[in-house]
């Protein structure tokens, strides 16, 4: 019995897409969690900013976020929060480029712009 060629192509295509996703440059950058009711801001950086924002939302919905003040405010009204990506780091051709240092620098600059003492 021969395998369906159309099905084989789709399996091959899925493997190709999976490899591309695995090898893609991760979306590193800065994020902001904004409490629109109080005006409170939480600035942070991540080597995978979208995954970090998803994790924060998940923990808040689950009631297990480590920041108890944030968790308490979330319980009052989740609709008052916005989750934003402020800036993404561009991929560099230099293999020695220090992405962590770039994130620290951007975090400091945006923290100063937003008037935050010590960003997360």
Residue 16, in any domain of the structure: no
Confidence at residue 17, expressed as pLDDT on a 0 to 100 scale:
84
Q: What is the mean pLDDT of residues 39-55?
A: 96
Q: What's the structural domain count of the chain? A: 1
Does 30 score more than 80 pLDDT?
yes
**Nearest 10 degrees: Cα torsion 49, 64, 43, 54:** 20
Answer yes or no: is 4 within a domain. Answer: no
**At 62, which CATH number?**
3.40.1440.10
d(CA 34, CA 38): 9
Residue 19 covered by a domain = no
* pLDDT at 5 > cutoff 60: no
Residue 7 included in any domain = no
- Indicate the pTM of the whole model: 0.79
- DSSP state for residue 79 in the 8-state scheme: G
Domain with 91, as residue range(s), is: 25-114
Q: Per-residue pLDDT for 119 more than 70?
A: no
Dihedral of CA 8/11/16/17: which sign?
positive
pLDDT category of residue 36 using cuts at 50, 70 and 90: very high
């Amino acid at each position: 019995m021969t395998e369906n060629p159309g099905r084989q192509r789709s399996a091959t295509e899925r493997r190709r897409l999976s490899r591309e996703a695995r090898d893609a440059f991760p979306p590193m950058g800065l994020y902001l969690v904004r409490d629109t009711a109080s005006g409170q801001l939480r600035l942070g950086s991540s080597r995978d900013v979208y995954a970090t924002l998803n994790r924060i939302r998940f923990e808040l919905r689950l009631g297990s976020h480590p920041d108890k003040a944030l968790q308490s405010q979330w319980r009052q009204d989740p609709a008052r929060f916005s989750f934003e990506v402020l800036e993404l780091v561009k991929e560099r051709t230099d293999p020695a480029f220090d992405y962590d240092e770039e994130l620290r620098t951007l975090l400091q600059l945006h923290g100063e712009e937003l008037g935050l003492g010590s960003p997360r």
